A and B are shown apart, each in its own frame.
Chain A
């Protein structure tokens, strides 16, 4: 296994780039969908039938490991990065949606009442009464999920959903352990970098 074999560094770089693209797009769309879904799932803001539908959606999105979801998308859409993106979007909606809904359910109702008494519309109450209370936590969950998506985007390739996982698994099956080692080291470096960036973004937004 040692020393790591970086001979195919261009292939490693290409795989890592695709993994990052998967993680970026999946996080972007996942966060975009999770924000409304999480709000809809909060039982203190929504009528019961809305919150229960949203909760069912979140539970379904969380039921399977992203790699299993990736298998299903690979069968439906074919091999490649799109299947990986879809799988990680599902995972992001499940994770952020659940935690965000819980955060919304813990907000102070007094602050909400203060905004409601001014005659603000429902959207106005959300914008001024709800979001200021929960946005820092939402950003915390989102950056954590971005980290998590970076990790998983390196793995969905094992089932054919794009990224560095494919060359990793191929090298492993060919017993080229020095290449495996090189790829793993590259993955760890990227995961580390993602964590540093997330921490920085959280600080800027006061989360």
Chain B
């Protein structure tokens, strides 16, 4: 890869000394397309995603993004880097008592002074863009609804709009469909893929649904025991490979 959007070098993470969740993991993410991380529960998928924007502190290794090592950033520099990385959560993580519009505008908090944010004095172009994004995610007219009045699928649409609102150079998604029913899951993944492609943002998503990963990802990374055991296009993910990731074969049939 000539110019990766993200390069992870020898990343390790141990929550308790000696108990590694991620071991010496290296991965590069292309500047376009959807990369899906699959793997059994506890394989470190979520930890990997959260290490990138430092919601979880890595133990060792480097994460290169826009020419800087994210693991070394502090304070304002870290916040500036986070502002360039959008994130979509499994349980949406919207602020429940705020309206849809306020939740989407949260994506601009890094660029607005706290006082103006508190008074909801966002620049008109931000508000205009938030309206357009709400149209794009199919929530036109919902701007005044409170987040806690929405269904799961609608909330995740707001979550995606909030992440894109940041105008990020990378989009992380931590099990974005695990709290949703199968039909809504497909709708959300379609939206995520198309929106990211439209805004030219590479996506790194972890998911436990292999079929969904095959259907939407351009590249699949299989994680087991904190290390990469598969890396390739969806069609290369054979049953034998799957058995290698998840262990055993009986669940396949």
* Residues of A participating in the B interface, judged by any CB pair closer than 8 Å: 108, 110-111, 113-121, 123-129, 131-133, 136
Report if B53 contacts A (CB, 8 A): yes
Measured between alpha carbons, how far is A136 from B107 in the docked complex, in Å?
A: 24
Contacts of B107 in A (CB 8 A): 118
The answer to whether A127 touches B94, judged by C-beta atoms less than 8 angstroms apart, is: no
Instruction: List 4 A-B pairs, minimum CB-CB distance, nearest first.
Output: A119-B83, A114-B93, A123-B114, A119-B82
A-B contact pairs, 30 of them (CB 8 A): A108-B96, A111-B94, A113-B93, A114-B106, A115-B95, A115-B106, A115-B109, A117-B85, A117-B87, A118-B87, A118-B106, A118-B162, A119-B83, A119-B84, A119-B109, A119-B110, A119-B166, A121-B109, A123-B114, A124-B110, A124-B117, A127-B114, A128-B98, A128-B106, A128-B109, A129-B95, A132-B97, A132-B98, A132-B102, A133-B96
**Closest CB in chain B relative to A205 CB, distance in Å:** 12
**Closest CB in chain B relative to A44 CB, distance in Å:** 15
Contacts of B95 in A (CB 8 A): 111, 114-115, 128-129, 132-133
**Closest CB in chain A relative to B122 CB, distance in Å:** 11
State which of B55, B92, B112 has its C-beta within 8 Å of the C-beta of A117.
B55
Measured between alpha carbons, how far is A189 from B115 in the docked complex, in Å?
A: 40
Measured between alpha carbons, how far is A156 from B79 in the docked complex, in Å?
A: 50
**Known contacts A119-B83, A124-B117, A128-B109, A133 near B166 by CB under 8 Å:** no
The answer to whether B96 touches A124, judged by C-beta atoms less than 8 angstroms apart, is: no
**Known contacts A115-B106, A117-B53, A119-B80, A110 near B91 by CB under 8 Å:** yes
State which of A110, A129, A136 has its C-beta within 8 Å of the C-beta of B89.
A110
CB contacts under 8 Å to A, within B112-140, are: 112, 114, 117-118
- Residue in B55, B76, B84, B117 whose Cβ sees the most chain A Cβ within 10 Å: B117
Contacts of B94 in A (CB 8 A): 111, 114
Report if B70 contacts A (CB, 8 A): no
Measured between alpha carbons, how far is A151 from B93 in the docked complex, in Å?
A: 42
Measured between alpha carbons, how far is A115 from B114 in the docked complex, in Å?
A: 13
**Known contacts A118-B162, A121-B79, A121-B109, A111 near B93 by CB under 8 Å:** yes
| 12 more CB-based (< 8 A) A-B contacts, given A124-B112, A128-B117 | A111-B94, A113-B93, A114-B93, A114-B162, A116-B82, A117-B85, A118-B83, A118-B87, A118-B166, A119-B81, A123-B114, A124-B110
**Closest CB in chain B relative to A39 CB, distance in Å:** 13
Contacts of B98 in A (CB 8 A): 128, 132
**Closest CB in chain B relative to A82 CB, distance in Å:** 32
CB contacts under 8 Å to A, within B39-98, are: 53, 55, 76, 79-87, 89, 91-98
Nearest B residue to A124 via CB reads B109
**Closest CB in chain A relative to B8 CB, distance in Å:** 18
**Closest CB in chain A relative to B106 CB, distance in Å:** 5
Nearest B residue to A206 via CB reads B97
**Closest CB in chain A relative to B149 CB, distance in Å:** 14
**Known contacts A127-B114, A127-B118, A118 near B89 by CB under 8 Å:** no
Nearest A residue to B105 via CB reads A128
Measured between alpha carbons, how far is A131 from B97 in the docked complex, in Å?
A: 10
State which of B84, B87, B102, B109 has its C-beta within 8 Å of the C-beta of A120.
B109
- Residue in B89, B91, B114, B159 whose Cβ sees the most chain A Cβ within 10 Å: B114
Measured between alpha carbons, how far is A127 from B106 in the docked complex, in Å?
A: 10
The answer to whether B87 touches A119, judged by C-beta atoms less than 8 angstroms apart, is: no
State which of B91, B92, B110 has its C-beta within 8 Å of the C-beta of A121.
B110
Contacts of B118 in A (CB 8 A): 127, 131
Nearest B residue to A123 via CB reads B114
Contacts of A117 in B (CB 8 A): 53, 55, 82, 85, 87, 89, 93
Measured between alpha carbons, how far is A98 from B195 in the docked complex, in Å?
A: 46
Contacts of B55 in A (CB 8 A): 113, 116-117
